[in-house]
């Protein structure tokens, strides 16, 4: 198992590169990927890293070297993946609500595409017919995931073509002789119950017999990782077993063995990430002792956006007495990271680290309040490499056109 980065290492990095800073641990990403490939080693399964979780080009290159494929949610992510060296046949573009021109662009780049609307499926048929294989993103009408904002497969979700519209899908497939190579579902994020994936397979097997060119079944991502003590990770070996059984019970009517795809994002990169901030001010009030750090939801939005829990530690005072604090940011907007949290005694100038910050951390950061985005560091083979420099003032004006 990859040893977690130590407090000393993190303090050292914060001192060298300043704060706020995101630190990623390459070996932890490898460990997560190996958990998947080991559990599924006896099956015909391929993993596409859902790169919207973290797209730093060095992370993409590292994951390419590990042997994973990549799943993209925009044409620019497809281009980043190509830039990182992924060949087109290891890139999947799972689209959602995009204009047809982006689908054409993806087709011209030669990557796999999952289409998520009848409208784009029809346009694809009109233009390309049987000439280019394509996947369909379905909405299985299953409720799953840690929070409604991250549930994507339920009956009110915008994602995918609802399975109950299968008749219309089949009309289009027949009309244009579409070569449907893949059926995709992604039910949400933070799914700890592996039965959700089994249910998804059941839904798919009802319709698989209609697709004679099918080669892949894509079950999406959404594996859960532990955020707080007592949390569990999705049981990957159990998932492998259940998926194996489900496919044994539903042989492909076409006779061809189907390859199973997954698209883990958070599972691959969440725990590799550490977000280090420094304490600006301590403020005693009747409601709480506030600890204001040099960051806010402009850098880590998950607590405010999803009520997400991130474990926090005072790495500058690991042996200090435990006290209760409310950890907040420094932007002009309520940006609570943690309310009434026990930490080792906090003093101005201390470094606080947020754990599990690799996924949807830097990636969802912004320049709100005209503050600079954090630096990013990759620790690989024990060495810290800076992989993003801090913004400078000119960056705030870049792309603005001064007409007055």
Contact pick of 45, 56, 120, 189 for ligand PLP (by CB under 6 A): 189
Of residues 54-73, which lie at the interface with ligand PLP (CB under 6 A)?
A: 71, 73
Measured CA to CA in angstroms, residue 393 lies from 372, 390, 404 at distances of 8, 10, 19
Asked if 264 interacts with ligand PLP (CB under 6 A), we say yes
End-to-end CA gap in the chain: 58
- Say if residue 371 carries a ligand binding annotation: no
Of residues 102-141, which lie at the interface with ligand PLP (CB under 6 A)?
A: none
332 is a catalytic site residue: yes
3-state secondary structure of 250: coil
Judged on CB neighbours under 10 Å (0-12, 13-18, 19+), 166 is middle
Asked if 153 interacts with ligand PLP (CB under 6 A), we say no
Asked if 53 interacts with ligand PLP (CB under 6 A), we say yes
What b/e sequence results for 90-120 when a residue is b if at least 16 CB atoms lie within 10 Å of its CB, and e otherwise? bbbbbbbebebebbbbbbebebbbbbbbbeb
The nearer residue to ligand PLP, 266 or 371, going by C-beta atoms, is: 266
Which of the stretches 20-28, 170-178, 199-207, 261-269 binds ligand PLP when contact is defined by CB under 6 A?
261-269
- Say if residue 93 carries a ligand binding annotation: no
- Say if residue 112 carries a ligand binding annotation: no
Asked if 302 interacts with ligand PLP (CB under 6 A), we say no
User: How far apart, in whole angstroms, are the C-alpha atoms of residue 86 and residue 83?
Assistant: 7
Asked if 329 interacts with ligand PLP (CB under 6 A), we say no
Count of chain residues binding ligand PLP (CB under 6 A): 18
Judged on CB neighbours under 10 Å (0-12, 13-18, 19+), 349 is exposed
The answer to whether 299 and 365 are in contact (CB under 8 A) is yes
Annotated binding-site members for pyridoxal 5'-phosphate: 222, 360
Which residues here bind ligand PLP, judged by CB under 6 A?
50, 52-53, 71, 73, 94, 186, 189, 220-223, 263-267, 359
Residues designated catalytic: 332
Binding residues: 222, 302, 306, 333, 360
């Amino acid at each position: 198992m990859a040893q977690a980065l130590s407090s000393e290492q993190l303090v050292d990095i914060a001192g060298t590169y300043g704060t706020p800073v995101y630190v990623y641990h390459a070996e932890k990403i490898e460990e997560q990927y190996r958990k998947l490939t080991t559990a599924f080693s006896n099956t015909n399964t391929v993993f596409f890293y859902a790169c919207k979780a973290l797209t730093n080009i060095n992370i993409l290159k590292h994951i390419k070297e590990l042997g994973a494929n990549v799943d993209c949610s925009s044409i620019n992510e497809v281009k980043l993946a190509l830039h990182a060296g992924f060949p087109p046949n290891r890139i999947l573009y799972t689209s959602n609500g995009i204009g047809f021109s982006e689908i054409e662009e993806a087709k011209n780049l030669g990557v796999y595409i999952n289409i998520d609307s009848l409208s784009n499926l029809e346009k694809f048929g009109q233009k390309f017919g049987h000439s280019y294989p394509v996947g369909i993103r379905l909405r299985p009408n299953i409720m799953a995931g840690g929070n409604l904002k991250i549930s994507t497969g339920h009956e009110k979700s915008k994602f995918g073509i609802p399975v109950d519209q299968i008749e219309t899908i089949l009309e289009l497939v027949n009309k244009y002789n579409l070569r449907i190579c893949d059926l995709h579902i992604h039910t949400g994020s933070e799914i700890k119950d592996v039965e959700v994936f089994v249910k998804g397979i059941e839904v798919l097997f009802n319709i698989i017999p209609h697709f004679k060119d099918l080669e892949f079944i894509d079950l999406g991502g959404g594996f859960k990782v532990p955020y707080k003590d007592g949390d569990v990770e999705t049981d990957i070996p159990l998932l492998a077993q259940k998926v194996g059984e489900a496919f044994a019970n539903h042989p492909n009517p076409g006779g061809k063995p189907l390859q199973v795809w997954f698209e883990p994002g958070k599972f691959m990169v969440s725990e590799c990430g550490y977000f280090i901030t420094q304490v600006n001010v301590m403020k005693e009030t009747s409601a709480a002792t506030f600890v204001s750090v040099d960051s806010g939801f402009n850098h880590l939005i998950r607590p405010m956006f999803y009520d997400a829990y991130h474990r926090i530690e005072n790495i500058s005072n690991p042996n200090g007495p435990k006290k209760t604090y409310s950890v907040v940011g420094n932007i002009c907007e309520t940006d609570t990271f943690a309310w009434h949290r026990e930490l080792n005694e906090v003093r101005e100038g201390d470094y606080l680290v947020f754990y599990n910050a690799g996924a949807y951390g830097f990636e969802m950061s912004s320049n709100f309040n005209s503050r600079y985005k954090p630096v990013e560091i990759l620790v690989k083979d024990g060495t810290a490499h800076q992989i993003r420099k801090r913004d400078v003032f000119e960056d705030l004006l870049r792309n603005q056109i001064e007409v007055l």
